[in-house]
Structure 1
């Protein structure tokens, strides 16, 4: 089993208000996030000696370029190219660096811009494998791939569009109290069912809306956070797995399923002990897979699970309390950091109207790098109230 974490905490959650389109560069968004970390922690950016960066729109730049751009001097540096899995993976790697003494305070930042033409360019250059597998057939982008995953899941396990609607509708309810969410108007079942078709069986509200934004947090030792007078959450467990089940013709599970027992064993808890869950929700079928793979129900029981649960903030299974990406928007790689940042707020009583009562243990999940018939990266982190 992986070695437990030694007094590692996360603090200073930062979320920049998302914008549908932005003329600013990724570097501007990352700099604004760094400024937010300084303001939230009282720690100068010059005293942050580690940086983990995730972005789709950095162009030819990487973390080392950003270090110079932002005037930092670091001894731990990581550029994490894992999309929606990058937030939890950045935390895992930063935590081990702090444990080893390779850094004292690591800034984990995800930032992406969204010019009117940015998303098209990202799709055109997303990966060589995606280009070879689908572009010759006239398909491009994630919608077609997730339509394939969704239809396969529906055929195998009897899920219906109404089942996926429950996830989207409850998350929209949560977004209604999140001032940073781009989509806050309540979503009805009729509106969901009658929305325009995107890629069968996906309709409009099954798909995330690209936007610009940034999310960030700090990783440090508990003694550092106490000395700085910061509210913090303790890191108790994490897992990371890539290309977990190559034998599956079409993905029906992620890497979480291979390591879930270890995840809970490290944290000394079970699924029943989790008070709030932040799934990676680029499409509702992936959120449903996570309910199964993380042990909240068995494989194939996701549809029945969502029929029996209230996933709103005050419900019996609080899930994506910000509204998730499906309502807040997907700010590129920042989408994979959003749930983790929210869980820090939940466990430090800083979530405002999104606060889950008596939340003491929170789970955040990551998923990313879709290649035609599967996402390759998956990760998870359990945090506890200090």
Structure 2
């Protein structure tokens, strides 16, 4: 298959995080509005100047993105709504980038936001999918932990990964989170702590699980000449891939759709895994981050135990990973989790990441993963971003 057209001229700018809260009685619309105001402040543009709007959220009902245009006085000529969880960020970016390339929009506000009232996470899980209602709830399980336990057990058996191997990622991310002002997890985590944590759905234990919260992440997608005219620092979109239900014949997920398209990603980007200065994987569970390292070409699946032992994944290590702390230590603000790695990578490549800045960061790989059904996650995607300096 020929390499698809690249994303020449498309840039990302104005990274915004609305600081997370463990619980919030404010609706998702409030969190979207705070992100929109943040984008206007960061860019120096009026929010009404954004002629594209992309929203990812699980908790907007009864609204969708089109209702927000009236809430906030917008009149976009490009509109997108992707409640696709952890793959929403990559999928939304691909669509917005093509719209900007085609001239269908000049400046697209990319926003992911969710609220988390005390009972909203339970209610969301009850209605997440027909698969969960038919295949998980009848067994007394109220969330994704059981499904991910099936995936983790199968993947660990195939690759030889142990909990100690996987725990290295969680421990490194907590160290990164201690440098991140808005991270919700502020207590140091050792490998012994990780291994001793109580079981949830073995081999899934407490520190394998993300903590639901409320929050928002946002950035702008625009053409390079528009960013330069506005005086906005930016990063370039070098490559992107997306695949859903990548291997439908597999009896349980042991690989993601990244495997089918990884050659396209690296060919479009003109570089290779070893050229990445930092990596942001979607980390609803650290075993899934490990899977992404293999599927994205850093090593073979059976090499993962040695690969994880050989690298330091902190911001001062040789392979900085989930430099904000990732969802495991920052928190999982619903669909905002799929935008977290993108927003963090923009900051890193702009050199504005503060105490967690990766020295000399020039290239970043960001991957997305989302929409778990009974035995697999259906959505996968990845992008390569490059600094403009």
2:19 maps to 1:20: no
Q: 8 Å contact 1:215–1:338 — kept in the other structure? A: yes
Cα separation, 1, equivalents of 2:59 and 2:86:
14
**Residue in 1 that maps onto 2:360:** 358
Work out the number of aligned pairs and report it.
386
Match of 2:106 in 1: 104
Render the CA deviation track for 1:322-375: whole Å, top value 9, x for unaligned.
Answer: 000000000000001000001101111111111111111101110000001100
Counterparts of residues 305-320 of structure 1 (less than 5 Å): 305-320=307-322
Range 312-321 or range 139-148, more displaced: 139-148
| Structure 1 counterpart SS, 2:212 | coil
CA contact (8 A) 2:122 2:142 kept: no
1:134 to partner: Cα distance = 1.8
Structure 2 residue corresponding to 1:195, chosen from 175, 194, 197: 197
Tell me how far apart the structure 2 counterparts of residues 198 and 66 of structure 1 sit (CA, whole Å).
38
The equivalent residue for 2:74 is 72
Q: Assess if the C-alpha contact under 8 Å between 1:173 and 1:184 holds in 2.
A: no
How far is 1:385 from its partner? 0.6
Checking the alignment, whether the CA contact within 8 Å between 1:85 and 1:368 is kept in structure 2 is: yes
**CA displacement 1:3-35 (0-9 Å, x = unmatched):** 111200000000111100011000000000000
> CA-to-partner distance for each residue in 1:292-319, whole Å, 9 max, x for gaps?
0111101222222111110000101100
Q: Is the 8 A contact 1:288 1:303 kept in 2?
A: no
Name the residue aligned to 2:323: 321
Summarize the alignment of residues 170-319 of structure 1 with structure 2, pairs less than 5 Å apart. Answer: 170-319=172-321
TM-score of the two chains, using structure 1 as the length reference: 0.99
What whole-Å deviation, never above 9, does each CA across 1:217-270 have from its counterpart, x for those lacking one? 000000000011111000110000000001111111111111001101101101
Query: Is the CA contact 1:278–1:319 (under 8 Å) kept in the aligned structure 2?
Result: yes
Cα distance, 1:194 vs structure 2? 1.2
Structure 2 distance, partners of 1:184, 1:163, is 23
TM-score, normalised to structure 2, is: 0.98
After superposing the two structures, state which structure 1 stretch, 261-270 or 131-140, moved more.
131-140
CA contact (8 A) 1:163 1:303 kept: yes
Structure 2 counterpart of 1:120: 122
SS of the residue corresponding to residue 116 of structure 1 reads coil
C-alpha distance after superposition, 1:125-157 (max 9, x if no partner) = 001122122222222311111111111111122
Cα pair 1:111 1:333 within 8 Å, conserved:
yes
Distance 1:295 1:246 in 2: 21
Aligned to 1:38: 40
Tell me how far apart the structure 2 counterparts of residues 134 and 185 of structure 1 sit (CA, whole Å).
32
Structure 2 equivalent of residue 165 of structure 1:
167
Distance 1:243 1:303 in 2: 26
Distance 2:192 2:316 in 1: 23
**C-alpha separation between the residues in 2 aligned to 1:62 and 1:305?**
43
Residues 235 and 384, structure 1, Cα contact 8 Å, conserved in 2: yes
Q: Of 86, 107, 116, which residue of structure 2 is paired with 1:84?
A: 86
Q: Distance in 2 between matches of 1:334 and 1:323?
A: 14
The alignment yields a C-alpha RMSD, in angstroms, of 0.8
